[in-house]
């Protein structure tokens, strides 16, 4: 049987419109992934399931207005750069994308270790994350994390640092750059999943029992993007290739003789 997980790079067939997930109907955690979550003392650290909720780009990033760049294209580029960085993290076994954006799914076909789950009737980030968690690991046999899909500067090592720090904790949270929101929320194996994203989410996650991880202010994991000013701050850290190319193209269209 071909394993579903790991870092295989063969081409996969993207979902058709409606984003039919890859084996979405499975209700049990695949044995190969569950095995990766168990590590003996001194062995490599347990690997994580990371769930990334992504709104359809036509409806996402309503406050992100960059002249010369279509908002939907920018939102999709940011999400794809985030997903690629997450799959490249050495302690991530599987990235689960919860979305109804069929174009995103098609454009993500070259990114390895992705699994798509349709958002369906889920309302809001927390419900979307719960759909992804239930689809891949309903019994909580693995450590799980929810990662925002708007981290265009994300580096795999920064995500790995946070997940390693979270591995010994029942629940953990990483604050955004402003210190009020959350970019990453985790739950260890056997811990019931819960999250409370949205404005002011950091304080709510701490109330839910999440330990605040001491992640440096300059970490790319803390730099989520909702506005043009935040995008400029992310640019200073180094943008992912799709976001950088899109912004460069927008600049050249505004200043064709520059």
Asked if residue 78 lies in contact with residue 86, where contact means CB atoms within 8 angstroms, the answer is no
Q: Mean of the pLDDT values across residues 89-106?
A: 95
Output 227 or 59, whichever has higher pLDDT: 227
pLDDT tens for 149-193 read: 999 999 999 999 999 999 999 999 999 999 999 999 999 999 999
Question: Considering the chain, what is the average pLDDT of its residues?
Answer: 83
Determine the pLDDT at residue 15: 41
Determine the pLDDT at residue 113: 83
Q: How far is it, in rounded angstroms, from Cα 224 to Cα 198?
A: 13
Give, rounded to a whole angstrom, the gap between the first and last alpha carbons of the chain: 55
The DSSP secondary structure of 54-70, one letter per residue, reads ---TTTS-TT---TTS-
pLDDT tens for 3-44 read: 333 333 333 334 433 333 433 333 334 444 444 444 444 456
Determine the pLDDT at residue 123: 82
Determine the pLDDT at residue 210: 98
Query: Does 80 score more than 70 pLDDT?
Result: yes
Counting runs of H as helices and runs of E as strands, what totals does the chain give? 8, 7
Which of 162, 166, 99, 85 shows the shortest CA–CA distance to 129? Answer: 99
Determine the pLDDT at residue 232: 93
pLDDT band, very low/low/confident/very high, at 121 (cuts 50, 70, 90): confident
Q: Which of 14-28, 33-47, 70-84, 214-228 has the lowest mean pLDDT?
A: 14-28
pTM for the full predicted model: 0.81
């Amino acid at each position: 049987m071909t394993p579903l997980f790991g870092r295989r790079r063969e081409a996969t067939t993207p979902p058709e419109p409606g984003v039919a997930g890859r084996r979405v109907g499975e209700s049990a955690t695949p044995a190969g992934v569950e095995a990766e979550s168990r590590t003996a003392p001194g062995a490599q650290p347990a690997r994580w399931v990371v769930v990334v909720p992504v709104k359809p780009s036509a409806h996402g990033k309503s406050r992100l207005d960059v002249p010369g760049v279509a908002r939907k294209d920018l939102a999709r580029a940011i999400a794809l750069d985030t997903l690629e960085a997450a799959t490249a993290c050495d302690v991530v076994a599987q990235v689960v994308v919860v979305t109804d954006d069929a174009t995103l799914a098609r454009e993500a076909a070259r990114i390895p270790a992705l699994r798509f789950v349709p958002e369906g009737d889920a309302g809001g980030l927390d419900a979307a994350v719960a759909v992804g968690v239930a689809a891949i690991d309903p019994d909580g046999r693995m450590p799980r994390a929810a990662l925002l899909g708007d981290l265009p500067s994300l580096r795999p090592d920064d995500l790995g640092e946070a997940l390693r720090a979270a591995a010994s904790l029942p629940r953990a949270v990483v604050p955004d750059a402003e210190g009020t929101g959350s970019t990453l929320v985790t739950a260890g194996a056997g811990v019931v999943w819960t999250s409370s994203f949205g404005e002011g989410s950091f304080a709510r996650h701490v109330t839910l029992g999440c330990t605040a991880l001491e992640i440096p202010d300059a970490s790319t994991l803390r730099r989520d993007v909702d506005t043009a000013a935040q995008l400029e701050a992310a640019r200073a850290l180094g943008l992912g290739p799709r976001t950088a190319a899109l912004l460069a193209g927008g600049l050249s269209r505004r200043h064709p003789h520059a």
